Amino acid sequence: MFASLSDRLTATFRNLRGKGRLSEQDITTTVSEIRRALLEADVALPVVREFTAAVRERALGAEVSSALNPGQQIVKIVNSELVEILGGQARDLRFAKRPPTVIMLAGLQGAGKTTLAGKLAKWLKDQGQTPLLVASDLQRPNAVTQLQVVGERAGVPVWAPEPGNGVGDPIEVARSGLAHAQDKLYSVVIVDTAGRLGVDSEMMAQAAAIKDVVQPDETLFVLDAMIGQDAVATAQAFQEGVDFTGVVLTKLDGDARGGAALSVAKVTGRPVLFASTGEKLTDFERFHADRMASRILDMGDILTLIEQAERAFDQDEAERMAAKVAGGEDFTLQDFLDQMQQLKKMGSMKKVLGMLPGAGQMREALENFDEREVDRIEAMVRSMTPQERANPKIINGSRRSRIARGSGTTVTEINQLMERFEQAKTMMRQMARSGGKMPPGGFGPGGLPGGGKKSKGRMAPPPKKGKKGKSGNPAKRAKQEAEALRKAAEQPAAPTGSSFGLGGGAGADPDAVPDLEDLQKYLR
């Protein structure tokens, strides 16, 4: 979503590199480019004005003029101001002192409230809570059925006494749902309310009535991050009508401009608590302003990446793999398969790679990356026998043909997999020898062992031992030749036929040549 904004800001900062001192004109030009980039990203005009004014004021101050690297200092200022307009310090959900904690969802129709209810319920369940979903959206067709399906996928119960589709009283459903949660000792109640295609008084009145009945601890405004400038007006209308306590951004994985995310927290004064980044129930995360600012400035989001890895990776498996590498054991294809399965648990490879610093520079490669390639590799490895996975050296031509047929691939793809596996195994060996550190030069093109014609890692062959060259001094050269003749004379003559095992070694009679019958004995 922030690709265009990120590219514009990165290009702007690139012009500041290498400058030992920034003039006022340089700062004015940079601030103008930032303003243009934010406006093109659909950020609200008041937010843009406040942001650029703050950046300009700080850039003209002492913190830039006295900095060793003014260009980097400008980036630091923009980063801190981005964090500020995104909401600053992250806030946790407020839980009730006496359960159940009531969370009410409000927003326009199509913002993704029902799906988000399931994502939030699953997230809370993973945190050790016992949530209950309440279907108070009785207006939209099949909204109750959709919530039941989402709840079943999340493993969370749903309170739905009314069929919906215009039938039933949503206020009474919310009241009875809260009573049911208190009776069954659920720790959290998530109330899904109805939305409309636009802001109207009827919708606001119904949402306000539900709020009065359930007295929520948190009222979350679900905002579609793809609606652009209209997000500000919608957020202000809901703030006046319902007075929400936090914002949840949905569809952050879209390709629209992300001005809503950069505007809503500053305009409403309410923090963004969560972000939905995909269609799966697991594509849901806490919103951190500092991490989002780092993503926008193409500095990566390593902390979120680490958190995802901690949730996905098996600790025992990680310790086993670390012990194997430290012990110098060979990396097998079974280990290769296990590591791939751990990576798949983290979600989309594009998203994982997109969190790395500098990912914007390889955006085209990421967009062209085929997620199915991981599945094809897994199919190839699974088509091998346990013996072949443990000892890849036995995989000959016929075995490769069999593996290709079993996995629906070609022998060429099997060969490419084996080459990549050998490179990975070599890397693991080098890391084990270097105490877990990456080898010098990394494993980029030309740096892979055997990966280039002039590989830096390849050792020069030792000099061959041979005769010393003849001296240029005539007297010394004559002495060398005399010494060589003397040594040749002292050496015994090589026994005749000894090279073929037919002679008797030193002292053998050269005339004692075996006859035809003796030769036939050696041939039998």
* Rounded CA separation 347/364 (Å): 20
pLDDT band (50, 70, 90) for residue 374: confident
Mean pLDDT of 90-104: 90
473 has a pLDDT exceeding 70: no
**Side chain identity at residue 336, one-letter code:** F
Are residues 408 and 377 in contact, defined by beta-carbon separation less than 8 angstroms?
no
Are residues 288 and 90 in contact, defined by beta-carbon separation less than 8 angstroms?
yes
Instruction: Give me the chain's average pLDDT, please.
Output: 77
| pLDDT for res 460 | 38
* Rounded CA separation 253/276 (Å): 8
151 has a pLDDT exceeding 90: yes
Establish whether 297 is an annotated binding residue.
Answer: no
| pLDDT for res 129 | 94
Establish whether 332 is an annotated binding residue.
Answer: no
Q: Cβ contacts of residue 371 below 8 Å, gap of 6+?
A: 348, 349, 350
Establish whether 107 is an annotated binding residue.
Answer: yes
- Tell me, letter by letter, the H, E, C secondary structure of 202-234: HHHHHHHHHHHHHCCCEEEEEEECCCCCHHHHH
| pLDDT for res 472 | 56
**Environment class of 36 (CB within 10 Å of its CB; exposed 0-12, middle 13-18, buried 19+):** middle
pLDDT tens for 106-141 read 988 888 889 999 999 999 999 999 999 999 999 888
| pLDDT for res 165 | 84
Establish whether 194 is an annotated binding residue.
Answer: yes
Establish whether 112 is an annotated binding residue.
Answer: yes
Establish whether 524 is an annotated binding residue.
Answer: no
| pLDDT for res 191 | 94
| pLDDT for res 431 | 66
pLDDT tens for 198-243 read 677 788 888 889 999 999 999 999 988 777 667 777 888 888 888 8
Which one-letter DSSP state was computed for residue 34?
A: H
Establish whether 220 is an annotated binding residue.
Answer: no
pLDDT band (50, 70, 90) for residue 516: very low
pLDDT band (50, 70, 90) for residue 454: very low
* Rounded CA separation 391/385 (Å): 10
Q: Where are the domains of the chain?
A: 3-85, 101-299, 314-433
| pLDDT for res 187 | 95
| pLDDT for res 459 | 36
367 has a pLDDT exceeding 90: no
pLDDT band (50, 70, 90) for residue 522: very low
Establish whether 168 is an annotated binding residue.
Answer: no
**Residue 205, both tokens:** 């009145």
Question: Nearest 5 degrees, angle CA 315-CA 316-CA 318?
Answer: 65
Three-class DSSP category at 200: coil
Establish whether 192 is an annotated binding residue.
Answer: yes
Are residues 225 and 258 in contact, defined by beta-carbon separation less than 8 angstroms?
yes
pLDDT tens for 279-289 read 888 888 888 88
Establish whether 111 is an annotated binding residue.
Answer: yes
Q: 72 φ, ψ to 5°? A: -65, -30
* Rounded CA separation 114/175 (Å): 19
Establish whether 252 is an annotated binding residue.
Answer: yes
Establish whether 193 is an annotated binding residue.
Answer: yes
* Range in 49-58, 384-393, 401-410, 492-501 with the lowest mean pLDDT: 492-501
The listed range with the strongest mean pLDDT (3-7, 75-79, 310-314, 317-321) is 75-79
Residue burial 75-113, b: 16+ Cβ < 10 Å; e: rest: bbbbbebbbbbbbeeeeebebeeebbbbbbbbbbbebbb
Are residues 314 and 342 in contact, defined by beta-carbon separation less than 8 angstroms?
yes
Residue tagged 């990576």 (tokens) = 343
Establish whether 113 is an annotated binding residue.
Answer: yes
Establish whether 496 is an annotated binding residue.
Answer: no
Establish whether 7 is an annotated binding residue.
Answer: no
Establish whether 91 is an annotated binding residue.
Answer: no
Are residues 194 and 110 in contact, defined by beta-carbon separation less than 8 angstroms?
no
Establish whether 268 is an annotated binding residue.
Answer: no
| pLDDT for res 508 | 42
Which one-letter DSSP state was computed for residue 164?
A: B
Mean pLDDT of 280-300: 82
Task: Say which CATH topology domain 101-299 has.
Answer: Rossmann fold (3.40.50)
Q: Which residue has the higher pLDDT, 317 or 167?
A: 167
Three-class DSSP category at 118: helix
3-85 is a CATH 1.20.120.140 domain: yes
514 has a pLDDT exceeding 90: no
pLDDT tens for 264-274 read 888 888 888 99
Three-class DSSP category at 193: coil
**Residue 265: closest CA among 78, 36, 37, 47:** 47
| pLDDT for res 118 | 94
CATH superfamily name and code, 314-433: Signal recognition particle, SRP54 subunit, M-domain (1.10.260.30)
| pLDDT for res 324 | 67
% of the chain surpassing 70 pLDDT: 70
| pLDDT for res 328 | 64
Residue burial 435-474, b: 16+ Cβ < 10 Å; e: rest: eeeebeeebeeeebbeeeeeeebeeeeeeeeeeeeeeeee
